[in-house]
Amino acid sequence: MKAAIIWLGAILLAAVAAPFFLSSASQSMNLLSPLEAPSLHHWMGTDPLGRDLFFRILCGAQVSVGVGFAAVLIATVMGILIGTVAGYFGSWVDRILMSLTDAMLCFPVFFLILAVIAILGPGMIPIVVIIGATGWMGTARLIRAEILTLKHREFVLAARAFGASNRWILTRHLIPNALGPVIVHAILGVSAAILTETALSFLGIGVQPPTPSWGNILMDGKATLGSAWWMMLFPGLVIFLTVLSVNVLGEKISHQMRGSR
Amino acid sequence: MTKYFLKKTAGTVPLLIGITLITFLVIHLAPGSAVDAKASFNPKMTAQAKAKLESLYGLDRPILVQYADWMGRLVRCDFGTSFVDGKPVTEKILQAAPVTLAINLGTLLLILVLGIPLGVYGAVRAGTLGDKVLTVVVFAGFSVPTFWLSLILMSFFGVRLGWLPISGLHSLFYDEMGTWQQYLDLGRHLILPIGVAAFTSVAGISRYVRSGMIQVLEKPYIRTARAKGLSRNRVIYGHALPNVFLPLITILGLSIPGLLGGSVIFETIFSVPGMGRLFFDSVFTRDYPVIMGILTLGACLTLLGNFLADIGYALADPRIRVGEHS
């Protein structure tokens, strides 16, 4: 648990600070020293263009973690909006929105993402938008269920009796009380989004080089399979440890929330 | 039971329409078309020739007409012809689907075979060192990027040790082998993709079985069974486990879209000629009929999975088919 927090802190620091100090160092090529094994000078070795792998991974943190957070933000806001409206207003609004949710849930999400990326073209913004737009269904269902149980509780009836508007009730009473499970879901969503971004970039249709992302660094590693183990080991290890830390953190928080109820 | 069956069947129809409509709109409202993709490879193509191509493919008609047309053919199991090579989409998909289905069924089987015992072990020994180690391993499988794990195993078992083939489904001399050798060869090619896919998704099932078992083991009927003097194994496997199995059916149904989506990554890395690979290639050439066909089929497979899960659930649990009125 502590290790997870320390690791995430380091990664976040890299994501915020590394591009300021290292963006030129991470791009500077040295064709005299391509594919050098890790050494004191290059901690994680160099890539086929002689760029320092450690610096590239540090800079890649901004893209990979940033995309993860931004995508989950979009997904969570969409999920809260759709779930709240469906749960609060009920009847046909609920039925239409929930059919939409169920239909979306039937799609193998990765297929849908690929199709839309083929249309919009690869790049950071399309990826954030599409990972967000295909990830809201779980949040919507969670928050709808919460709203359904909350909306008949006494404090909501009391607010209504005082003449509160729908908007007031929703934003001041219902949504704040329904947020608990959503937060856990969002944390776990970040790890899923990081995995999706790195997978897309790894396949060559995500964040495009020369902008370093953990996924496209690993894509370069695939090309040198068998000859340069560091190109493959380090980027993957960083993805793995980051996702693992986020999952551990999410699990811990959800455990404590369940315990506190 | 018949009534329940019919109700569930009727319930899938609007979902099916919703699914096809979403796919169709997403792809057709996008800027750029298959004709553009073709034109960009051929600088001599005139606007006239482009218009001709568009009317040939029916891309110049109103979008709802195109959708109705497409649906009409869909009902007859006709997904149209590929923009790229002119082959019927159905033929292309039928060639690729069995590979993907076989791999995914193999993965599902392995997940069950591994996940259930692991979950039971974790529940029975909850809190011990073994349980903790298991939790860590399962968590690792849940968090590891599949493409990275595949690469590492490929380079270790395939390149370094040379034990396993790293791509495709068949070896070079496949046609000259005997039947058994052919099966063996196919199996060797499938070990890595199925193994990685199962390892990374076993977490869901085993964690589910573990928490389900822990709850069930506290139930009064388990205490009764113990008090009756039944053996430990009898109590665990005869009385507790079946009660955990029920919701497991639903979880399996829900895991289908994830497995199908994952097949894009596996099939690309291991060069397996399945649906995921076909989809990946079609996306690059904007081969709409193939993209639509696979998206629809993928969603339908999910629907079918959920439907079978519902039916299985109702068969296993009388409370569902008789008692529920919603």
**B143 and B70 in a common domain:** no
Q: What is the mean pLDDT of chain B?
A: 79
User: Comparing A128-137, A204-213, A223-232, B151-160, which segment has the lowest mean pLDDT?
Assistant: A223-232
Domain with residue B255: its CATH number is 1.10.3720.10
Residues of A in contact with B265 (CB under 8 A): 110, 199, 203
**B100 and B39 in a common domain:** no
Residue B43 banded pLDDT, cuts 50, 70, 90 = low
Is pLDDT at A29 greater than 90 in this prediction?
no
> Looking at residue A261, what DSSP letter applies?
-
Report how many domains make up chain A: 1
| Residues 21-80 of chain A whose Cβ lies under 8 A from any Cβ of chain B | none
**B216 and B303 in a common domain:** yes
Contact B155 A225 (CB under 8 A): yes
Phi, psi of A35 (to 5 degrees): 50, 50
**B109 and B69 in a common domain:** no
| Residues 102-161 of chain A whose Cβ lies under 8 A from any Cβ of chain B | 102-112, 114-120
Integer Cα distance of A136 and A103 in angstroms: 13
Nearest to A115 among B19, B144, B291 (CB): B291
Residue A72 banded pLDDT, cuts 50, 70, 90 = very high
pLDDT at B59: 66
Residue A17 lies in a domain: no
Q: What is the mean pLDDT of chain A?
A: 83
| Minimal CA separation from B143 to chain A, in Å | 5
Report how many domains make up chain B: 2
Residue A153, amino acid: R
Residue B326 banded pLDDT, cuts 50, 70, 90 = very low
Percent above pLDDT 70 for chain A: 92
Is pLDDT at B158 greater than 50 in this prediction?
yes
Nearest to B159 among A100, A218, A226 (CB): A226
CA-to-CA dists, residue A212 to A54, A127, A216, B122, B149, angstroms: 11, 15, 7, 41, 21
Residue B86 lies in a domain: no
What secondary structure, in 3-state letters, does A15-69 show?
HHHHHHHHHHHHHCCCCCCCCCCCCCCCCCCECCCCCEHHHHHHHHHHHHHHHHH
Residue A164 lies in a domain: yes
Percent above pLDDT 90 for chain A: 9
Is pLDDT at B21 greater than 60 in this prediction?
yes
Is pLDDT at B324 greater than 60 in this prediction?
no
pLDDT at A76: 94
Note the pLDDT tens digit of each residue in A82-98.
999 998 887 888 888 88
Residue A21 lies in a domain: no
| Minimal CA separation from A222 to chain B, in Å | 7
Q: Is B88 helix (H, G, I), strand (E, B) or coil?
A: strand
- What would the mean pLDDT of A191-204 be, rounded to a whole number? 89
For residues A203 and B265, the answer to whether their CB atoms sit within 8 Å is yes
The residue segments making up the domain with residue B232 are 95-325
Residue B205 banded pLDDT, cuts 50, 70, 90 = confident
**B50 and B137 in a common domain:** no
Residue A112 burial (CB count, 10 A): 22
ipTM for this prediction? 0.82
Nearest CA in chain B to A121: B284
Residues 6+ positions from A151 with CB-CB distance below 8 Å: A87, A88, A174
Q: Is the peptide bond before A210 cis (omega within 30 degrees of 0)?
A: yes
Residue A206 lies in a domain: yes
Nearest to A99 among B18, B140, B299 (CB): B18
- Please, what's the largest Cα pairwise distance for chain A? 77
Higher pLDDT residue, A48 or A170?
A170
- What would the mean pLDDT of B35-53 be, rounded to a whole number? 63
Nearest CA in chain B to A222: B151
Phi, psi of A214 (to 5 degrees): -55, -35
CB contact A227 to B (< 8 Å): no
Residue B22 lies in a domain: no
The residue segments making up the domain with residue A91 are 63-214+240-260
Nearest to B265 among A103, A107, A199 (CB): A199
User: Comparing A238-252, B55-69, B128-142, which segment has the lowest mean pLDDT?
Assistant: B55-69
Last residue of some domain: B22, B44, B78?
B78
Contact B261 A233 (CB under 8 A): no
Domain with residue A249: its CATH number is 1.10.3720.10
- What would the mean pLDDT of B234-244 be, rounded to a whole number? 83
Residue B189 lies in a domain: yes
Whole-structure pTM value: 0.82
Contact A244 B291 (CB under 8 A): no
What is the DSSP annotation of A153-222? SHHHHHHHHTT--HHHIIIIIIHHHHHHHHHHHHHHHHHHHHHHHHHHHHTTSSSPTTS--HHHHHHHHH
Locate tokens 């822990």: which residue? Answer: B214
- What would the mean pLDDT of B192-201 be, rounded to a whole number? 86
Higher pLDDT residue, B1 or B246?
B246
Contact A107 B160 (CB under 8 A): no
